[in-house]
Amino acid sequence: MNTQELNEQLHNATDGLEPPPGFADTVLRGGRRRRGRRRMVVAASVLAVAAVATSATVVALRDVPQQVQAADARLTQPTRGDLAGDQAFLDQALDVWRRDLGYAEEASFGYYDDRRGDPRILWAGNTPAGRAAIVVQQVYVHEHTQAQPKDRGPQVAEGLVTIDPADGKLKLVDTAYIGLQEPTWADYYKFGPENRTLLIVDYGKPLHYSFAVGKEGETSTRTWERAQPRDGVVLVHIPEDHDPSTTAAFQGDDPPTVMPSDTQIIGPDDPWPAPPSVYVRGTASEFLANRLTDPDYRRVYPKLLEWGNSTWEFGNPPPMNDVERDSIWGLHVPVEVWQFQSDWDVTAGLSDGRLVILKETQVDWDTPRLTVMVSSDHYSTEVDIVDGGPVDSTTVLPVRFRIPDGGGWIVADKGKALSYRTAPDGEWQDAGRDAALLPDNTTEVTVDGETVALN
């Protein structure tokens, strides 16, 4: 896909909205984002990242009853591999799994706190890097954990137990991170000396692997080899003249030749999300380097407001559906500003013709912030991106933002009745519920009867 094709797809998908000049080049180069502790790519379409974006709003969910279990063939199919009959090795691998799973970096989010049933071996065999086993186990991810809502409930933990070349000991050297598991992605591991052994799990679909990342101008391209599974897996040696960190696997019939993520995968920063069905995962060395030192450690991070998928419109904004609104916001707000964004937003069409879109955003696990796009009109490329400051979900009226140049105040506290006044002794005016666009000279707001001063 070249930049012209990408612009055309964006144009068609957003009902005629014009992206700013050079936007396609920016997408294909990838975004600069903070480096994660493990190099992983969340699969998403280029359009979804550029226009709609993946939301990470955390909403309250009730735990699914314990009797509900995930229907996953990995939990029931017989063990495959040339060591499937070596009970001593199978028992040893299971012992390592029980010992090491709590040290996996993602265990600090609470993914593995509630393990259910016994772990079992999906595959066990000899590899160029020594004996190896893929272990799976049913887990239940609860609401109170730091896991995202989509990752809660019954899940399947999976990981690779094999020899750590650094000390020759059998260890859990990588996991299929629950937060990034997706049925359409190829399931694979890179391990052994210099991480040059590639193991791809066979689930009955066509498999491909790729070492090479070429360059055509600003676009990175890939070449793929068809993989031939044997006894449940594909084992491939990554050549010495290729970087294991760029090696990827694909499950399906048509692997993509263009992956916008590759520009950043081979660069110093985090990669831009790849096209659907491609998951460029880290290596065993990276996993082992980031193991927890304390298996009881649990991360506690600030979360986005739990306001779900709500849109509040005020003034005279142009008629837009959710996709068009998110497209406008996503086309103008640089990815450095957000990694996660709220499903909820406030949109205002001001009397002077300006369009305002306010969202809550978060980079990595920093404190959430208000981010506001202010444009001169619906289609303008003259846009100001304004930092609305940190969001404290524990306060009354957590969203309060003064639009520049006398545009008024945006306030929000979902589920609450709002009123305002413009002078200390002025009359209170009803502002409805949830959110409001208030006059620029507003001095105080009541939230379910509790008074908050604007400053």
Residue pair 54/43 in contact (Cβ under 8 Å)? The answer is no
162/255 Cα distance (integer angstroms): 29
Residue 8: which H helix or E strand, with range?
helix 3-13
Determine the pLDDT at residue 41: 29
Please report the pLDDT score of residue 389 as a whole number.
Answer: 95
Phi, psi of 352 (to 5 degrees): -90, 10
16: left (phi over 0), alpha (psi -120 to 50) or beta: left
Helix (H), strand (E) at residue 88 = helix 87-100
Query: CA 145, 148, 150: angle at the middle one, nearest 5?
Result: 120
| Contact call for residues 346 and 358 (beta carbons, < 8 A) | yes
Beta strand ranges found along 79-217 (DSSP E): 115-127, 130-141, 153-164, 169-175, 188-191, 197-201, 207-210, 213-216
The residues pairing with 198 across neighbouring beta strands, listed in sequence order, are 190, 236
Given a contact cutoff of 8 angstroms between Cβ atoms, the answer to whether 158 and 182 are in contact is no
Report the pLDDT value the prediction gives residue 259, as an integer from 0 to 100. 59
Mean pLDDT by 10 residues, the chain (455 residues): 39 40 32 28 27 28 35 88 98 98 93 95 97 96 78 92 97 86 78 97 92 62 90 95 89 76 42 48 93 92 87 92 86 86 94 95 89 86 92 95 97 98 95 97 97 92
H or E element, residue 99: helix 87-100
Give the integer Cα–Cα distance in Å for 420 and 439: 9
- Write the CB contacts of 363 (distance below 8 Å, at least 6 apart in sequence): 33, 34, 336, 337, 338, 339, 340
Structure tokens at 220: 């990175």
Rounded-to-integer distance, Cα 416 and Cα 433, Å = 6
Burial (Cβ within 10 Å: 0-12, 13-18, ≥19) of residue 68: exposed
DSSP for 267-328 reads SSSPPPPPPTTB-----HHHHHHT--S-TT------------S-EEEEE-PPP--HHHHHHH
Note the pLDDT of residue 292: 96
Do 422 and 442 meet the contact criterion of CB atoms below 8 Å apart? yes
Predicted pLDDT of residue 219: 55
DSSP element (H, E) containing 6: helix 3-13
How many Cα neighbours within 13 Å face the side chain of 103?
Answer: 17
Query: Vertex 287, ends 286 and 290: CA angle to 5°?
Result: 85
CA distance linking residue 29 with residue 259, whole number of Å: 10
Is the distance from CB of 421 to CB of 410 less than 8 angstroms? no
pLDDT at 149: 74
